[in-house]
Structure formats: structure tokens, C-alpha cells
Structure 1
Amino acid sequence: MPSPRTPRSDSVGGHRDFQRLWAGSVVSQFGSAIGMVALPVIAVAVLDVAAWQVSLLAGVAALTTVLVAFPIGRRIEYTRKRPVMIGSDLLRAATLASLPAAHALGALTYTHLCAVAAVNAVCAIAFTGASQAHLKSLVGPARLIDANSRLESTRWLSVSVGPSLAGALIAALSAVGALVANTVGFLIGALAVRSIREPEPDPPTPPAPGEGTSKRSELFAGLGFVWGHPALRPILISWILFAGASSMAAPLTAVYYMRDLGFSAFEYGLLMGVPSLGGLLGARLVPRLVRRLGALRTLWWASLLRGPWYFLIPFAVPGKVGLLMCGVGFGLVLVFAAAANSAMSGYRQLETPDGLMSRVATLWAFATTVSQPVFILLGGVVAALADARVALLAAAVVMSLAGLLLPRSRSAPERW
């Protein structure tokens, strides 16, 4: 008979330490969502910087991720993960708190804002690398799918609700004041991780000098493992294509929705927020799908089904019918994208050796960060040569083709 703590062998329901980790993750995710909105608002409304400086602020975070992802992944690999997660949240809280303090003293500068963006990017990479490795040891392989499903569902909730919450906080407290709430959120996240009671296992032991491994091979060991794996390599390539196509489409939708289709700002806001709840639904369906189909087959089907729905958007017409087409298309893309992401994360964690968990996790963040600007630039070129509708159609094609690269369960190993 299952114990009250573990009602199912593949469920994290009743797993109190996971509930603590989950609570900390939720608070941190919402904190990140608020910060993403608040920092540009401070740059514009408080510091009155130029438009290119606002873009540079986002570029600083992206460049920092590219530069530090591999070194941080290697360093975290051989370190206890829980202190890294706690330290990341505490450092984010401290740097964000420095902005209201500097503003109160009349000493807030654009350079200070960029420094905070860079530090927060480092902390986000460190937290991701540590938390993905820690999750596997905390819940065990059998519960990874359910754990990732729950974490993915709240990530989509933060995506849909976070910007609105940030807007409400900025309206009530000002952009600088909203960062005070953001700081408190990261402190709560650190306390949640600190409250986990189960002892953390010892980290892997780094190879001794002269054991046949160079610093370079150690640094890129995660990439080497993924590239040599018959399933993870096509999964990574497929993910880069889908994430890149999504990034390509994102900045163009504002122009397309409001200029080409004539939607109001209110309708545009609805299209950006409400369909994101589809991600919550898709993530929560994954445990049941994996029990029925297996992880790879779930990933394969979800990836095949996520892209085609996006064609509803470039083929939409003005008016309420078009609004419905865009909302349904975007919502169903996110349902299947969230399902694919949850299955992918669980499968990747199960297939990755414990000594490579952090480096493989940071590899995914690196690949996403590097590919996004390239696809965004490509989308801008297509839109300039044709129009936004054609660029969104191209994005839909890439999203759909990405699913065809994935392996099926009977053609690749699966330890489920």
C-alpha cells in the first residue's frame, strides 16, 4: 500500500521536499517575469535612455549567458546543487534591491542597470544548471516526468500571468518599487530551497589531473555527450529550430496583429496572455501521456502536433473570426509545445549521466540564447523583403519541420 508521502510510484504528489522546491521555483519564475518587465521600464521611464540602449540592455543578458554557460555548467557539476540555487536567489535579491536603494539616493545609472541584468543572467544559468541536476536526485528517475510536468505548468502560468502582475505592481508601486516585491520573491525562493530536509547526495568527483581529460574536453563534455547520443542530438536540433522560429515570430506579431489585422491593443494583450494558459494544460497532460505512450513517443507526437496550428495565424482575417483563429492557433501551439517540453526535459534528465547533468542543462540554455537573435534577424529580413504575414508563415513552416527531426521510441533507446 502506498505511503501518504508517495501515493503513486511515478507521482510527486505528497513529496514534501519537492513541494518546497516547487514553491521556490514558482516564486523565482514570477520574480524573473516581473524583472523582465521592470528593468526596461526603469530604463525608459526613470533613466530616459534611447531606444538602442533598451535593446542593449536585453543584449547584455544574452551575451552574458553565451559567455558563461559552459564554464558555469562545469563548475556546478562538481558542487552541491542546493547551495548554488540558494546563492543564486540571494544574489538576485541583493542586486535587484540595489536598484531601489540607488534610486532613493539619486545614484541610479544605466551602467548599474546593465550590471544587474548581467548578474541576473549569470544567476539564472546557475540556478537552471543546479536545479535540473538536483531534481533528478531529489525525486528519483520514476517521478521525473511528473515533477517536470508540474514545474513546466507553473512556468507557463508565470509567462501568462507574470507580465500582467508586473504591470499591476508597476502601476501601484512604480517600476522601482516593483523590484522591491521582486527582491522579496527571490528571498522566499531561497528560503523554500533551504527548507528541503532530505540530505543532498555528494556531487560527482572531478577527474584528477592526468586522467586523460583536458580542460577543453571537460568544458564541452555536455555538448560531446549530447552530440554522440542517438536521440538527444536530434532532440537538441529540433528544439533549436522550434525555439528559434518562435523567437522569430514573437516581435512580428505586434505589427501583424495591430497593423495588418487591425486588432486593438486590448485584443493584442489578450492574444499574448490568455493562450499561454494552454501551456499549463499541455504540461499537466504529460504524465498520463507518458504512461500510455512512453516519453519519446509522447515527445514525437506533441512535437508533430505543435507546429501546424501556427498556420492559423498567418492565414487569419481581420475581425472577430481572425481574432479567434489567432487565439486558437496560438493556444494549441502552446498546449503541444508545453507537452513536448515536459517530455523532453524528463527524457533528457533520465538519459544524462549524473556527472553531466549540469553541463547538459546549461547547454540547452546556451543553444537557445545563441539561436534566438539569429532567427529574430532572419524574421526581420523576411518581413522587410515581403511582409509580416510571410515571415509568420515561414515561422510556421520551420516549427512544423522541427518535429520531423525527432526520433520515435522504437528507433532510439528509452529507459522508461
Structure 2
Amino acid sequence: MTSPQPDARERQDFRRLWSGATVSQLGSAVGMVALPVVAVTVVGASAFEVALLSAFTAVTTALLAFPLGTYVEFRRKRPIMITTDVVRFAALASVPAAAALDVLTFAHLCVIAVVNASCLIAFTAAAQSHLKALVSGPRLIEANSRLESTRWLSVSAGPSAAGALIGLLGAAGSLLIDAVSFLVSAVAVRSLRTREPAPPVRERGASRRAELFAGWRFAWRHPHLRPMLVSWVTFAGASSMGAAVSAVFYLRDLGFEPWEYGLVMGVPSLGGFAGARLAPRLVARLGAVRALWWTSVSRGPWYFLIPAAVPGTPGLLMCGFGFGMVLLFAGAANSTMTSYRQQRTPDELMARVAALWSFATTVTQPLFILLGGLVATWADSRAALFAAAALMCASAFLLPRGSADGHRLDAPGSSGSAG
């Protein structure tokens, strides 16, 4: 039997990678709900301690993003992806084991948060670099579209599945689902057949400091990646700012029932799924830079429907529709931006530029959350949500507009550095 042709092998390998990512993302969505429940119901953590778990994740990302990005850059990516998946499997599986032995502590959960955050940085940096090597240029936007759509689907279905699993298996037991999902991801990566290219070679005589911040320097000097990074940080921060006060607004100001709150937080994520699948067609028609600009301009105004909502069913529909439309255009924008960044970044900087995005997002989001809390305190939750909507709209105008033909993802030279 003849071996598959390169294009067929590429498609088969991407399907394996995508299947593993789908299972892993669904498991992570379950774990995102289950871990705080374990902290509260099993360990008896206070509200401050639960917040501290999130703080450990943020601090770990801030401290390790650049060093881990540099470490990953000069090594083969698949072994790193497999190792980080296996480590996360072992870390999460230790929680139900410790709970069964009645030795689970808050310190144990803090260690899990640090380990998971560290592995996520390394895995993301390796995976984004590896995807570019696995999928040829013209197909990269389609690959990112599928991965992004799966992420939104897991955000929509995962919390509901988590509630059912927690009821069936208990909070600690449900973390086994998250743990096993990482094992599935590791097996999927291990099954890839396309030969992985050799990693970049370190420049002789380059200082460690120069290596550490090479991704930052490249992105900051690039005429399109710099405004994309600033715009992304602004939009992601505004989203966090709104999310921090939305629970109070929905439950207290609008008087939503808990099931209505769950509905308006979960179902609109299907908009993100649809937007991600729409991205390849928009890029083919407009080019990457213009597609990113138009989808970013289109996402922010819909958020104004949320603070403008009134109590009752009309308000529920306004919030759900507005949030869904924001996520539809955000899903398209995210897929486009990720693909453009991968194509325009030289292979020897891929992991470090991916780590830069993680670092910038994680470091700035707490500041936006604090800003939202201050506005809600000085005025009210509705004012904070209006401010978040205004920032979302403003973030789009930080982007370059580009031309329809000059910045397609399959344009010649798109995989190299900017000229």
C-alpha cells in the first residue's frame, strides 16, 4: 500500500491534532468550573483564596511567559506538547486521588494552578509554532478557523457539561475528565506522521537577554503586529472589565434568575463558533488585514445592547443577542489575527511571539478588571458596562486598515519577516 501524498498526510495529521485539541478544550472547560467548586466545597476555601488561585495563574504567566517561550523556541515542539499534556494529566488526576484520601489542601490546589499555567504557556507556544510547520500557508486560516470554532463550542457546552458531571461524579471526580482529556491530546500529538522540522538554531554569541525579548522586539517593530497586539490587549481587557461586573448587573440590576444568567453566558458562545468558521471566507474576499479591521469594527457596537437592557424577557433577549454578535465578530477576528501573526512571524521567533501575546494579555487584564470595579463603585454596573463597550469599539481603530490585495495569508513572502 502506498503512503499518503504530502497534502493528504497533512490533512490527516491536522484532523488528528484537531480531534485531540477538541477533547482537551472540552475537558478544560469542565475543569474551569470544577476546580473552584473543589476549592469551595472540598477544601473550604474562602472567597479570597478562590481569587488567589486565579492570581497564581496570572503571576505564573507574567513571570514565565518569556523564559518558557525562549526555551520552547529552540527545541522540538511535539515532545514539549506531549510532556505538558502528560504533566497536566498527572497534576489534575492528583486532586481526586488526594480528595479520596482526605489529604487535599488549598496549597495543593495552588501548586496545580501554577503547574497548569506553566504547561499552558509552553504548550501554546509550541502548538502555534508547530501548526505553521504542519499546515501549509494557504490552509493556515482554515486550520485556525477550525481550532477557534472548537474553542468557542467548548466554552458554550463545557460549563453545562461540568454541572452535570459535578452532580454525577462530585467536584473532585469531575476533574478526572479534564485530566483524561489531556492524555487524549498527548496521544493525538504522538500519532502525527508528518516529520517535524528541526528547531531553530541559537545564534552564536547572542545574549540571553536578547533571546528573551527577541519576540517582543520583532512584534513591536512590525508595522502591523504592533497595532494588532495593542488592539488585542485593549479588546481583551475591555472584555474582562465587562465580565467582572456583568454578574452583578444581570442578577441584581436586571433580576435574572440563575438559569437565565447561565443561558446568557453560555449560548452566545455559539456566535464565536460561527464567526470562526466565517473567517476563511472573509480573508479570501478582503485580505487578512482588512478582514481583521472590519470584523473588529463590527464587534464592539453590539456590546452596547447589554448595558442598555431592561429587566424581563426583552432584556434577556437584548443581552443574549448583543453578546452573541460580539462573539461572532470576535471569533472571526481572533482566527484572522492568529493566522496573520503566524504567517508574518519568522519560524525562529514563532514560540516567543506567541508567548508575548499570552504575557501581554495576562498582565494587563487585572488592570482592566480593577478599572471596571472602580467605575462600578463610583457610578454603577451599567456605567462600567458602557465603558467596556466604548473600549471595545475604540480597540478596532488601533488596527491598520491595509489593502485588499497586499496582505493575504498566502501572499508571497508572508512567512518571513516584514520588509
Bin the TM-score by the shorter chain.
Answer: over 0.9
Structure-1 separation of matches of 2:300 and 2:289: 18
Q: What's the CA shift for 1:412?
A: 11
Q: What's the CA shift for 1:410?
A: 2.6
In the alignment, which of 298, 320, 330 is matched to residue 305 of structure 1?
Answer: 298
Letter of the structure 1 residue corresponding to residue 244 of structure 2: P
Structure-1 separation of matches of 2:9 and 2:236: 30
Instruction: Kindly indicate whether the alpha-carbon contact (under 8 Å) linking 1:230 and 1:412 is maintained by their aligned counterparts in 2.
Output: no
Letter of the structure 2 residue corresponding to residue 398 of structure 1: L
Q: Deviations over 1:141-165 (max 9, x none)?
A: 1111000000000000111111111
Q: Deviations over 1:259-317 (max 9, x none)?
A: 11111111111100000100000000111111111111110000000000001111111
Structure-2 separation of matches of 1:5 and 1:21: 18
1:193-272 correspondence runs (5 A): 193-208=189-204, 210=205, 213-272=206-265
Instruction: Kindly indicate whether the alpha-carbon contact (under 8 Å) linking 2:10 and 2:134 is maintained by their aligned counterparts in 1.
Output: no
Q: Counterpart in 2 of 1:150?
A: 146
Letter of the structure 1 residue corresponding to residue 304 of structure 2: F
Q: Counterpart in 2 of 1:366?
A: 359
Q: What's the CA shift for 1:414?
A: 2.4
Deviates most, 21-30 or 110-119:
21-30
Instruction: Kindly indicate whether the alpha-carbon contact (under 8 Å) linking 1:5 and 1:16 is maintained by their aligned counterparts in 2.
Output: no
Instruction: Kindly indicate whether the alpha-carbon contact (under 8 Å) linking 2:219 and 2:226 is maintained by their aligned counterparts in 1.
Output: yes
Structure-2 separation of matches of 1:340 and 1:102: 42
Q: Counterpart in 1 of 2:279?
A: 286
SS in 1 for 2:198: coil
Q: Deviations over 1:234-275 (max 9, x none)?
A: 000000000000000002111111111111111111100000
Q: Deviations over 1:50-76 (max 9, x none)?
A: 111111011111111111000000000
Q: Deviations over 1:5-54 (max 9, x none)?
A: 79xx9xx9981100011111112212221221111111100011211111
Q: Deviations over 1:117-155 (max 9, x none)?
A: 100000111110000000000011111100000000000
SS in 2 for 1:409: coil
Structure-1 separation of matches of 2:132 and 2:161: 31
Q: Counterpart in 2 of 1:322?
A: 315
Structure-2 separation of matches of 1:412 and 1:126: 35
Q: Counterpart in 2 of 1:394?
A: 387
Q: Counterpart in 2 of 1:333?
A: 326
Q: What's the CA shift for 1:180?
A: 1.4
Aligned-pair RMSD on alpha carbons? 1.7
Instruction: Kindly indicate whether the alpha-carbon contact (under 8 Å) linking 2:290 and 2:404 is maintained by their aligned counterparts in 1.
Output: no
Q: What's the CA shift for 1:413?
A: 5.9
Instruction: Kindly indicate whether the alpha-carbon contact (under 8 Å) linking 2:88 and 2:179 is maintained by their aligned counterparts in 1.
Output: yes
Q: What's the CA shift for 1:324?
A: 1.1
Instruction: Kindly indicate whether the alpha-carbon contact (under 8 Å) linking 2:287 and 2:408 is maintained by their aligned counterparts in 1.
Output: no
Letter of the structure 2 residue corresponding to residue 116 of structure 1: I
Q: Counterpart in 2 of 1:100?
A: 96
Instruction: Kindly indicate whether the alpha-carbon contact (under 8 Å) linking 2:9 and 2:193 is maintained by their aligned counterparts in 1.
Output: no
Instruction: Kindly indicate whether the alpha-carbon contact (under 8 Å) linking 2:275 and 2:327 is maintained by their aligned counterparts in 1.
Output: yes
Structure-1 separation of matches of 2:154 and 2:278: 18
Residue 138 (structure 1) aligned with residue 134 (structure 2): yes
Residue 89 (structure 1) aligned with residue 85 (structure 2): yes
In the alignment, which of 161, 179, 185 is matched to residue 181 of structure 2?
Answer: 185
Q: What's the CA shift for 1:171?
A: 0.8
Letter of the structure 2 residue corresponding to residue 244 of structure 1: G
Instruction: Kindly indicate whether the alpha-carbon contact (under 8 Å) linking 2:24 and 2:185 is maintained by their aligned counterparts in 1.
Output: yes
Structure-1 separation of matches of 2:27 and 2:391: 32
Structure-2 separation of matches of 1:277 and 1:5: 35
Structure-2 separation of matches of 1:220 and 1:33: 32
Residue 47 (structure 1) aligned with residue 43 (structure 2): yes
Structure-1 separation of matches of 2:405 and 2:237: 25
Structure-2 separation of matches of 1:291 and 1:49: 50
Structure-2 separation of matches of 1:377 and 1:174: 33
Structure 1 gap segments, 5+ residues each: none
Letter of the structure 1 residue corresponding to residue 279 of structure 2: V
Structure 1 residues 240 and 13: CA distance shift in structure 2, 3 A? farther
Structure-2 separation of matches of 1:102 and 1:259: 38
Structure-2 separation of matches of 1:101 and 1:314: 44
Aligned residues: 407
In the alignment, which of 372, 380, 399 is matched to residue 406 of structure 1?
Answer: 399
SS in 1 for 2:268: helix
Structure-2 separation of matches of 1:71 and 1:351: 22
Q: What's the CA shift for 1:415?
A: 5.2
Q: Counterpart in 1 of 2:413?
A: none
Q: Counterpart in 2 of 1:116?
A: 112
Q: Counterpart in 1 of 2:412?
A: none
Instruction: Kindly indicate whether the alpha-carbon contact (under 8 Å) linking 2:309 and 2:315 is maintained by their aligned counterparts in 1.
Output: yes
Structure 2 gap segments, 5+ residues each: 410-419
Q: Counterpart in 2 of 1:274?
A: 267
Q: Deviations over 1:292-348 (max 9, x none)?
A: 111111100000000000011111111211111111110000000000000000000
